[in-house]
Structure 1
């Protein structure tokens, strides 16, 4: 039995097929308003193998000149990101255990050859909010790092498991800063996307909620 690091939850088949289909339609609408673009690594400018876009008040972007960051506009069109679909906001309410809404939904599209190296999601100001990830389309091999007494490290060992369409993963609590990545895509394992591939939706809270006077 696979034992995941504390704070990392894998919820297989959390979304039904009909919910997945509706969500794909909503993602298509997002992409029509905010086209997919190719992100690049800071400093080197090396292009990533995924294409991405965002929805929500803020979107995560990266390029050679300015590096990793969140911004309110699309880096190519300059237009504001479209809103996060209500179905994803409801999913956040169901699984996040966090009282404030997400501010960004990163949309990553993986072709059969695409990968994502081990990394942490640490460009956010509030690590008490989890990261909620949704898989749509072809299966992938997901890798997550361990949390040691020194914290999350690349060297602490990793566990790999298969994510299928409709699965949800939550990185929260002690597992919020776990290193994680996608080692490979398994082509033709899902018929959800007409032309194949995998969509990953990652919901994140970026800023700390304002403190209201009592």
Structure 2
């Protein structure tokens, strides 16, 4: 990788610290609560469809997820679900908010090596307050020059970010676990992207085709970033 980068951006969830497994666990609990109404597979699909429908209203994050669980519970039960079950659904959301912030292997060492050589930023989606909470608890905040919590991660969103950072696309490197959100839009505007897969990915973030692009790289672990940059 020939480095002309001035800014390196990191996704937060499942790139800096664990996130999706907590939602998978919450979904398991939701399906168990509602098992009298539908099969686990049907409940998971109903919850997913409700989430996707609600994204324009609630955006990404725990609060929108809880509202989608509540709506799904009402709909699959034909509005007969008990108050006790609803209280437990809200409890699932509170448990999500209280989950520990667990850094992914190698992330802090990688940030230490990059810090001072590049301007490091966080470019992520989700609930603004929750993402700032997690970054604070992670202890990683001091490494980052800027934190951007986006409503979406589309080409226009990245173009706005680059404008705020006063850099050109060829000076921008994005690192993340989502091909849909962290890679494709960055490549499309002329930037460079490194995909660091996580062992589980939300269905909404998956794509069904291979990416072939001169500015696209993959790394099995974030620790490989330093080697790709030839530091």
TM-score normalised to structure 1 length: 0.31
Q: Based on CA coordinates, which of the two structures has the bigger radius of gyration?
A: 2
Higher strand share: 1
Higher helix share: 2
